[in-house]
Amino acid sequence: MKPALLLLVLLATAAVAWALLAGNPGASPSQGIAGGGPTTTPSPAVAAVPLESAPAGSGTVERIAVDPAAPIQEFGQGVRGVVVDDRGQPVAGVQTFLLESLRHDLERMLALRDVPFPPLAQVTTASDGTFTLGLRQLGEGAFELRLLATGFADQRIRGIHVAAGQWNDLGTVTLQRGTVLRGRVTMEGTDLPVPGAEVSIDSGFAFDDLMHRTLPGREKGLWTTVDAAGNYRIDNAPAQGLIVVSAVAAGFARVTRPQIEMRAGQPLEIDFQLPRGSSIQGRVLGRDGRGVEDARIEAWPLVGDGSPLHTTTGVDGAFEVMGLRAVDHRLRVLPREHQPAELVAVAAGTRGVEITVERRASAAVLVRTPDGSILRQYTLGVRHWFAENGGQIGTVVDIPDLSVRLRADEERAVIANLDRGDYVVQVMADGFAKTLSGNFSIGEDARDVVVEVTMSMGTLLRAVVVDEQGKPVAGATVTTQVDGADEDNPVWRMIASMTPDKFTRTSARTDVHGVFALPQLAIADYQLQIEHPQFCRGFHKGVRISAPGEQTLPPIVLHRGALVRGHTWVDGKTQGHVRVAITTAAAPGAIAQDLVRTEATSDNDGLFVTARRLPPGTYELRASTIDASPNADIFRQLRQQQLSAVLVTVAAGQEQVEQDIRITTDH
């Protein structure tokens, strides 16, 4: 399933479940949120111009290789340690790689299946086993370490946290001895060896395999070639975990053995018999006609199990994808420094395929303060620009935000690997509002550009919060949101978490006079959420910040509302630990409030009380018993929610409303 389609299916499933479980009366997330922001355009006080050559004094903030002998002061932060074997002896020459961790970022995991994912830093261990992986960009982040060494199993260390400007000393890292994998590769139906056959090992987990193949020396996985008798041996196979073992050769189809469980210290023997097959041969060229080296080529069968075969191009751009069955394939080209390309319906056996790829471009970003001086420390990001949607922005998933710290002789930070498209850059720095550049385009000629940004001081927004009698409300929390936000809705939250925003996320508390101030707000459309334990949650929508300065809103009124309480009954008896979902059943009456979606859980005595006060209106309560077991029946819970629905009305001036809710489990 394609990543975009998978994401849509997940969102649709979540939407259906929420509508059924929470009793959502047909309400949908606010429109205009797909881009994650408002419809205002960036300030015209910025510029984007073609860059004929790299400007003097440009500082490149990028993935870098680190000399272990270099002083740590050369880098702002990083990871270090010492590598030893199972006897505690230091191991020299171990290739160590530092990669960004995407363990909790589903969107980028899916999207990065289509792009190269190079290490952030790499180095080999010194004679005493020590290594230093430094990063010039500053910022808190999660990383993982990969280690490759002859005679040892490839090793992965996850969950490495590095604070901004700090070094994480991992101490001693012990390599595991590899497991022996051996066997023989023969022609199907015979005992004849397959000459030149290659046997490779990959992880049994797809995303781990993807990241592993971006490491130098592992582009083809962990692999070897058979000898003249068809025998192979790999001494440093993984010591444990699931692996996939494949065999392929010119003129033969690939055979794969998936989900093989490895156990430390136990050699494994796997034989292969290869049927006749074919290959696709060709070259990858740049626009200048030169071969593109080290590009990953994937051949996806249009019929069959859908798993690809792959290879990499040589120094002249030549490639041959072997092991294909006699069906058409989709060829995908994933170069490191060029834009991806693909050909559809290429028949197995085709020769002389030529694929031309466009180089990727870069943007050299010059950031100035309002007085014209150069800003040297800031966070820099690049965003897709959608002019047709009113100027919304979107994530560029394969280019993470950079924490920039320019040296005295540098003026610009460089964002590399930009494909064709329309972009803006986003800059955040202490003392300034979040600022967007003017939009710029990378065309088919992939010309580099210079982008100049003048930081904005932002807008100071003030207002007073009062109750229904006009008295000031002290201690209320005011939080900025994108206009149209619906944070009670988990589907909206899921969409919003995966889209960048233009607005400034901040909050403030009202003083004894009910006054609050929100400084340094970026140009965007906002809504304010106001919360106080003694009042209903309030909103003030349609706050447009269009220029720096100061802005005062009219008084914001909070309404008292009521708490809803009652008992949960199961099969005629009061029972605790029941989840109650409360949603707006009809548009609120005299008080214009957002749709309400909230939950409560009954205590041991079966009593539930809403977590916050509800404004006057009609609400629907639905209940289901809580089942935390892995085999919980979600459909049973859905039926309980549907059959237990009951309406309750909160009238103006009510402080509390009583309403029991009943579940029958024999349905």
Q: Helix-strand-coil percent breakdown of the chain, rounded to 5? A: 10, 45, 45
Q: Which residue has the higher pLDDT, 596 or 280?
A: 280
pLDDT the model gives residue 18: 44
Most confident of 26-40, 63-77, 89-103: 89-103
Residue 360 near residue 340 (C-beta atoms within 8 A) = no
656-660 long-range CB contacts below 8 Å, 24 or more apart? 656/562, 656/563, 656/564, 656/565, 657/562, 657/563, 657/564, 657/565, 658/565, 658/566, 659/564, 659/565, 659/566, 659/621, 660/566, 660/567, 660/568, 660/569
CATH of the domain at 533: 2.60.40.1120
Residue 45 near residue 547 (C-beta atoms within 8 A) = no
| Domain-embedded: residue 354 | no
Distances (CA, A) of 600 to 503, 572, 610, 622: 32, 20, 5, 10
Helix (H) or strand (E) holding 385: strand 377-386
What is the rounded CA–CA span in Å between residue 402 and residue 396? 13
Residue 579 near residue 624 (C-beta atoms within 8 A) = yes
H runs (alpha helix) in 213-335: none
Residue 402 near residue 413 (C-beta atoms within 8 A) = yes
In a shared domain, residues 226 and 287? yes
Q: Which residue has the higher pLDDT, 51 or 617?
A: 617
What is the rounded CA–CA span in Å between residue 503 and residue 528? 12
Tell me the three state secondary structure of residue 14. helix
In a shared domain, residues 155 and 201? no
Sign of the alpha-carbon dihedral angle for 137, 143, 148, 149: positive
pLDDT the model gives residue 24: 40
| Domain-embedded: residue 38 | no
Q: What are phi and psi of 166, to 5 degrees?
A: -120, 165
| Domain-embedded: residue 12 | no
Provide mean pLDDT across the span 316-331: 92
Q: Which of 135, 150, 174 is the last residue of a domain?
A: 174
pLDDT the model gives residue 425: 95
In a shared domain, residues 443 and 502? no
Half-sphere exposure of 299 (CA within 13 A, CB side): 29
Say what percent of the chain tops pLDDT 70: 78
| Domain-embedded: residue 35 | no
| Domain-embedded: residue 68 | no
pLDDT tier for residue 23 given thresholds of 50, 70 and 90 = very low
In a shared domain, residues 316 and 193? yes
Using the 8-state DSSP alphabet, how is residue 263 labeled? Answer: -
Nearest residue to 320 (alpha-carbon basis) of 357, 349, 341: 349
Residue 552 near residue 462 (C-beta atoms within 8 A) = yes
Residue 529 near residue 537 (C-beta atoms within 8 A) = yes
For 386, the token pair is 């959608």
Residue 319 near residue 297 (C-beta atoms within 8 A) = yes
H runs (alpha helix) in 312-377: none
Q: Nearest 5°: CA angle at 645, between 641 and 651?
A: 135
Q: Which amino acid is at 422?
A: D
How crowded is residue 65: how many other Cβ atoms within 10 Å of its Cβ? Answer: 10
pLDDT the model gives residue 498: 60
What is the rounded CA–CA span in Å between residue 13 and residue 491? 10
Give the per-residue SS3 of 516-579.
Answer: EEEEEECCEEEEEEEECCCCCCEEEEEEEECCCEEEECCCEECCCCEEEEEEEEECCEECCCEE
Q: Euclidean distance between the first and final Cα of the chain, in Å? A: 36
| Domain-embedded: residue 26 | no
pLDDT tier for residue 59 given thresholds of 50, 70 and 90 = very low
pLDDT the model gives residue 570: 93
CATH of the domain at 369: 2.60.40.10
Residue 362 near residue 446 (C-beta atoms within 8 A) = no
**Which of 24-28, 77-81, 555-559, 620-624 has the least mean pLDDT?**
24-28
Q: What are phi and psi of 117, to 5 degrees?
A: -135, 75
Nearest residue to 201 (alpha-carbon basis) of 227, 176, 236: 236
pLDDT the model gives residue 631: 58
Provide mean pLDDT across the span 46-59: 35
In a shared domain, residues 283 and 190? yes
What is the rounded CA–CA span in Å between residue 482 and residue 486? 9
In a shared domain, residues 136 and 218? no
- 383 contact partners, CB below 8 Å, separation of at least 6: 393, 394, 395, 396, 423, 424, 425, 426, 436, 500
Q: What are phi and psi of 127, to 5 degrees?
A: -60, -25
What is the rounded CA–CA span in Å between residue 33 and residue 42? 18
| Domain-embedded: residue 386 | yes
In a shared domain, residues 449 and 365? yes
**Each residue of 289-323: pLDDT tens digit?**
999 998 989 999 998 766 788 888 999 999 999 88
Nearest residue to 308 (alpha-carbon basis) of 336, 333, 272: 333
In a shared domain, residues 189 and 316? yes
User: How confident is the prediction for the chain on average, in pLDDT?
Assistant: 80
Residues pairing with 552 in the sheet: 462
Q: Which of 400, 421, 454 is the last residue of a domain?
A: 454
Provide mean pLDDT across the span 473-487: 90
pLDDT the model gives residue 202: 80
**Each residue of 88-131: pLDDT tens digit?**
999 999 999 988 776 544 444 444 444 455 678 889 999 999 99
| Domain-embedded: residue 2 | no
Q: Which of 400, 420, 454 is the last residue of a domain?
A: 454
Position 479 pLDDT exceeds 60 = yes
What is the rounded CA–CA span in Å between residue 582 and residue 657? 13
**Each residue of 511-551: pLDDT tens digit?**
999 999 999 999 999 999 999 999 999 999 999 999 999 99
**Which of 111-115, 275-279, 331-335 has the least mean pLDDT?**
111-115
How many structural domains are present in the chain?
5
pLDDT the model gives residue 74: 53
In a shared domain, residues 167 and 210? no
Question: Where does residue 205 rank: exposed (0-12), middle (13-18), buried (19+ CB within 10 A)?
Answer: middle
**Each residue of 168-219: pLDDT tens digit?**
899 999 998 888 899 999 999 999 999 999 998 887 655 454 445 567 666 6
**Each residue of 578-616: pLDDT tens digit?**
999 998 886 544 343 457 888 899 999 999 999 889 998
Residue 274 near residue 253 (C-beta atoms within 8 A) = yes
Give the DSSP per-residue string, 613-650: -B-SEEEEEEEEE---STT--HHHHHHHHHHT-EEEEE
Note down the domain range covering 515. Answer: 459-557
Provide mean pLDDT across the span 124-146: 82
Position 359 pLDDT exceeds 90 = no
pLDDT the model gives residue 39: 30
In a shared domain, residues 400 and 480? no
Tell me the three state secondary structure of residue 479. strand
pLDDT tier for residue 419 given thresholds of 50, 70 and 90 = confident
Position 72 pLDDT exceeds 70 = no
**Each residue of 626-662: pLDDT tens digit?**
875 555 677 888 888 889 999 999 998 899 999 999 9
In a shared domain, residues 433 and 296? no
Q: Nearest 5°: CA angle at 82, between 76 and 87?
A: 170
In a shared domain, residues 184 and 292? yes
pLDDT tier for residue 141 given thresholds of 50, 70 and 90 = confident
Q: Which amino acid is at 91?
A: V
